[in-house]
Chains A and B, each alone.
Chain A
Amino acid sequence: MRTIYLDNAATTYPKPEEVLRAASDAMRKAGGNPGRGSHRLSNAAAELVFDCRTAAAELFGAEPERVVFTMNATHALNYAVKGLAEAGCHILIDNYAHNAAYRPVAGLADAGLAEYDIYDASGDEDEIIENIRSKLRPDTRIVLATHQSNICSHILPIETIGHFCAQYGLHFIVDASQSAGHLPIDLHRMNITALCMPGHKGLFAPMGVGMLISAPDVRYNTILEGGAGIHSLDAVMPEELPERLEAGTLPLPAVAGLLAGIRFVRRTGLQEIHLHECTLTSELTDRLSVLGGVTVSGESVGSVVGFRVNGYSPAEVGAHLASRGICVRTGYHCAPLAHRTVGSFENGSVRAGVSYFNKMSDIHALTGALAELGRK
């Protein structure tokens, strides 16, 4: 039975061949610890790490030294939220937020260190800005936005929100977990303070690396301390990024894979990738609409389609698809706020996430398997 992978919103699969090669080569040829010495292998590793910072900076409109490697997007978002929050400050978060963004904010509130409100980001640009404006308080310091939802293809107007935040002197944190490698993002032009993303989704890296990309002159409180390869007699982390936020050894093979993944995305082109994904999800949306008994939740043309099938729980649909070799994700997708927003809070939904490597035949196989449910 052929495996059809449509769980790319969880992690992309397959990876480009050059990513696999780069991760392997990093262990074979540059096996030193980056930034922990100046022998040949350590230097080779450090140069590879800097190459990746440079490639990411070029893709996202930043400076290489503002590219901090993290374990994943969750780690980056924890750093952005907790590193930027001032004691007792007020934070605004959108109603599509994943728990990776929501829980750090709610955690601060639970500890009595911050307060937060949720703004509605489901309308048009003007409505979203008005919703944010209406919830602003004198002590608001941070606005957080989910660039693209992880349960549907809803996209927030981050450039407009960024300009609004700049006007009011607010830190603007963007969760780009579902948009990095799919949609254009320019940190400088969009007035983003902290851009958070995983490597292993749209940028095709191996799991184990994410990025926090930061605007110039922003200082973070540290939430993780340890060896940084520099100023080892000091009891505190260095002031300068990226070393300030990179305690411990970096995952060199994953970073090498990320570099190859970024190069793949740049060579292929964001527009080409997005167009391909929109073609697939548009076809899927059309086919779901004629199946009968299927409800699509939220926007569906982009890279993520969420849906429910009448008479079956999402878990039952997922199990049926798995029996046909089709990989999707069911349930709440760690995004209760978003499910509440799109009306699928009761049982969650079935999520199909496409990537550049999916073919139209994958979409036809999915809808064919769903049609079997209707015949049962």
Chain B
Amino acid sequence: MPDCILAMKTRTAAEKARRTAAFERMETEVVSVDPSVTRHGCSVGLRLNCADVEEVTRLLDRKGIVYGDVIGRGGR
């Protein structure tokens, strides 16, 4: 299953999202996002299994953690 990247507003929000997901046994990773994708320069995202996107975003909504779009496959 390919990885997806969920854009996050800040590094702190990304870390909170990672820990929140980990608490629910969903593995994610905080990664840098290619600046060409965001047009804002350096950005961070949450790399996760594409199959988990719906469940993770539902969880983040429930916890009030703001996230952006799913911006496709990502690297480090």
Q: Which residues in A have some Cβ–Cβ distance to B below 8 Å?
A: 34-35, 37-39, 43, 46-47, 50, 53, 64-65, 229-234, 238, 240, 242-243
Contacts and interface: CB of A to CB of B under 8 A. Distances in A.
16 contacts: A34-B11, A35-B11, A37-B32, A38-B76, A50-B12, A50-B19, A64-B12, A230-B10, A230-B11, A230-B44, A232-B42, A233-B39, A233-B41, A238-B10, A240-B10, A243-B10
Interface residues of B, number: 21
A38 B13 contact: no
B11 A65 contact: no
A230 B11 CA distance: 8
B56 interface: no
Q: Is the interface of A mostly helix, strand, loop or mixed?
A: loop
A242 B19 CA distance: 17
Contacts of B32: 37-38
Contacts of A46: 11, 15, 30
B12 to A, nearest CB: 5
Contact of B43 (A34, A37, A50, A231): A231
B42 A230 contact: yes
Contact of A234 (B11, B41, B66): B41
Contacts of B42: 229-232
Contacts of A37: 32
Contacts of B76: 38-39
Contacts of B19: 50
A338 to B, nearest CB: 36
A47 B29 CA distance: 12
A229 B10 CA distance: 9
B6 interface: no
A65 B12 contact: yes
A38 B9 contact: no
B35 interface: yes
B48 interface: no
B12 A242 contact: yes
Contacts of A38: 30-32, 44, 76
Contacts of A35: 11-12
B62 interface: no
Q: Chain B CB within 10 Å — which of A34, A37, A50, A64 has the most?
A: A50
B58 to A, nearest CB: 20
8 nearest CB pairs, A to B: A233-B41, A232-B41, A35-B11, A231-B40, A50-B15, A38-B32, A232-B42, A243-B10
Nearest to A34: B11
Nearest to A229: B11
A80 to B, nearest CB: 19
A225 B11 CA distance: 17
Contacts of A50: 12, 15-16, 19
Given A38-B30, A240-B9, A240-B13, 5 more contacts: A35-B11, A38-B76, A64-B12, A230-B10, A242-B12
